Amino acid sequence: MFFMLRTLIFALLISVSLSSSATGDTPSSNESRAISARTKKSLGARYTFHLDNTVNKNNTVDSVLVILDKFDLSGAGIVRKVFYPDSLNQIIVEDLPKGKYYAEVYVLGLYRKHFSTIIYTKASKKNKISFPLDYKDVYIPGKATIPPEDIKMFAYNKN
């Protein structure tokens, strides 16, 4: 009896929630959208990390781990996320509060590299930093040439 009653209440709540979402915008959802729009404007700046891979023919980077800590040590790991760069090898961090940060950038995948720097975010400034990547070459079977060895150089003196 108890389980039937609980199932009936659960079904009733689901049907009410589906019917309210099907009717469209309610006044409360309009208010929440307006509040979220206001808070989005006031949250902070957008910061762009550019991974300069011109040495490797601008090949795209697989993924990047970005860790941002407040410089005044009041907030550890404000951003701690794996990003997937776009075709221009750029990572954009949205709504970053203005201030000074320790930035740790770990490039993952084929072009592994670690960058550590201090960044400043300002609302009126173009917030962008560029990191150069090193040259990496991929082994292609059949393309490697092994030079001949001089065996006499390694032979022991046999008399």
Q: Look up the pTM and report it.
A: 0.61
**Would strands 79-83 and 113-121 be described as parallel, antiparallel, or unpaired?**
unpaired
Q: Given this model, what pLDDT does residue 48 score?
A: 94
Q: What is the pLDDT of residues 100-122, one digit of tens each?
A: 999 999 999 889 999 999 999 98
Q: Which DSSP string do the residues of 4-17 spell out, in sequence order?
A: HHHHHHHHHHHHHH
* Closest-CA residue to 108 (of 44, 158, 62): 62
CA distance linking residue 26 with residue 17, whole number of Å: 12
**Which of the four pLDDT bands, split at 50, 70 and 90, describes residue 40?**
very low
- Dig out the tokens for 126 from the structure: 């173009």
* CATH class assigned to 41-132: mainly beta
Residue 69 near residue 101 (C-beta atoms within 8 A): yes
CA distance linking residue 149 with residue 24, whole number of Å: 78
- pLDDT greater at residue 9 or residue 25: 9
Question: 24: how many CB neighbours lie within 10 A of its CB?
Answer: 7
> pLDDT over 90 for what percent of the chain?
36
- Dig out the tokens for 153 from the structure: 């150089």
Residue indicated by tokens 């209440």 = 9
Q: Given this model, what pLDDT does residue 145 score?
A: 79
Beta bridge partners of 65: 82, 106
Count of alpha carbons within 13 Å of 116, Cβ hemisphere only? Answer: 2
